[in-house]
Structures are given as structure tokens and as C-alpha cells.
């Protein structure tokens, strides 16, 4: 079956758009990254919110010292690890973000949430606690963080 030049060009554009969406590029290159610096493998699960697609299968094991990055257009949900506070995240289609994680983290695993972008606009601090025992803000609930291309959730040992 032969295609005319306009039909072939339209097909090529449609296939390119599909490939870009599959790679997350059609969504502004947004991603959620989960990193494990806690000294042990972590069995992670998700708290589904707003019908967001699963980042990874329930019970996914993230080896110590490794990370996983997941391309998304937008994502809302919670990431859970045994012994750690729940990291709640919303990353919007437009790069707006809000996130929350407790600063009352008795361990045995600490967690922080940090937005990345170039440039970030608004109020975009790290939330949660790090491996040095330092805790930051509890949440950025007001949606005043913009320009986010990546939300990074990091698990630490105290």
C-alpha cells in the first residue's frame, strides 16, 4: 500500500509524537526519582492518589546504593518504605509541585523529598530529614513551587 507524501508526513508526525510521549518528552521531561542510601535493600510500595499510574510494581525492591527514575507527565501519590515516613508528592503537568513528609522521623530509615528544576520558582525547599540527622520543612502544601522537572525522594540511614 503506497502513501501520498502528505499522508506519509502525517503518519511520521503521529509516530514521533507517540514516541515522545512514551519517553516522557512530550510532558516536559518530568520524572520522579527514588534513591536508596539507607544501607539495606528497600521493599517499596505506593499509596495511590488521583488515579496516577504506578511508578513501579507494588513490592519493588530498590537495592542499597541504587536509584530508579520514572518518566511521568504528572504524578500524585505516596511512596512507602518499611520503617520510614510516607513521602507524599504531586508533580503537575505544568511543573507545579507540592510535597509532604514528616520531620518527626524516629527511624530506622529517614526520608527527604527535594524538587529539581532549572530554574525553580517560588518556595521549593527540601522537606523531611537527611542522613546527617538534619530535618527541614515538613511540607510545601500551598502549590507555590514551580519549574519542577524532577522530584527526588531519598532514603537515608540515621
Q: Is residue 129 part of a domain?
A: yes
Q: Is residue 77 part of a domain?
A: yes
Query: What pTM value is reported for the model?
Result: 0.81
- CATH of residue 98's domain is 2.60.110.10
- Burial call 72-102: b when 16+ CB within 10 Å, e when fewer: bbbbbbbbbbeebbebbbbbbeebbbbbbbb
Number of structural domains found in the chain? 1
Among 16-30, 52-66, 89-103, whose mean pLDDT is lowest? 16-30
Q: In terms of residue numbers, what domain contains 145?
A: 28-156
Q: Give me the residue label for grid cell 519517553.
A: 23
Who has greater pLDDT, 10 or 59? 59
Structure confidence by residue, pLDDT tens digits, 96-137: 999 999 999 988 999 999 999 989 999 999 999 998 889 998
Q: Is residue 46 part of a domain?
A: yes
Separation between Cα atoms, residue 61 and residue 38, nearest integer Å: 13
Q: Is residue 120 part of a domain?
A: yes
Q: Is residue 7 part of a domain?
A: no
Instruction: Express as a percent the part of the chain with pLDDT over 70.
Output: 82
Who has greater pLDDT, 33 or 50? 33
Separation between Cα atoms, residue 130 and residue 136, nearest integer Å: 9
Instruction: Please give the pLDDT value at position 26.
Output: 56
Q: Is residue 13 part of a domain?
A: no
- Report whether pLDDT(90) > 80: yes
Amino acid at each position: 500500500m503506497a502513501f501520498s507524501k502528505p499522508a506519509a508526513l502525517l503518519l511520521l508526525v503521529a509516530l514521533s509524537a507517540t514516541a515522545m510521549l512514551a519517553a516522557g518528552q512530550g510532558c516536559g521531561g518530568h520524572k520522579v526519582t527514588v534513591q536508596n542510601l539507607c544501607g539495606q535493600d528497600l521493599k517499596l510500595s505506593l499509596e495511590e492518589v488521583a488515579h496516577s499510574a504506578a511508578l513501579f510494581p507494588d513490592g519493588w525492591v530498590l537495592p542499597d546504593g541504587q536509584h530508579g527514575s520514572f518518566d511521568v507527565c504528572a504524578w500524585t501519590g505516596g511512596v512507602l518504605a518499611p520503617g520510614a515516613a510516607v513521602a507524599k508528592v504531586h508533580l503537575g503537568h505544568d511543573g507545579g509541585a507540592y510535597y509532604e513528609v514528616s520531620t518527626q522521623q524516629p527511624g530506622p530509615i529517614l526520608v527527604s523529598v527535594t524538587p529539581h528544576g532549572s530554574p525553580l520558582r517560588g518556595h521549593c525547599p527540601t522537606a523531611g530529614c537527611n542522613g546527617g540527622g538534619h530535618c527541614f520543612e515538613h511540607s510545601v502544601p500551598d502549590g507555590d513551587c514551580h519549574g519542577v522537572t524532577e522530584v527526588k525522594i531519598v532514603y537515608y540511614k540515621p
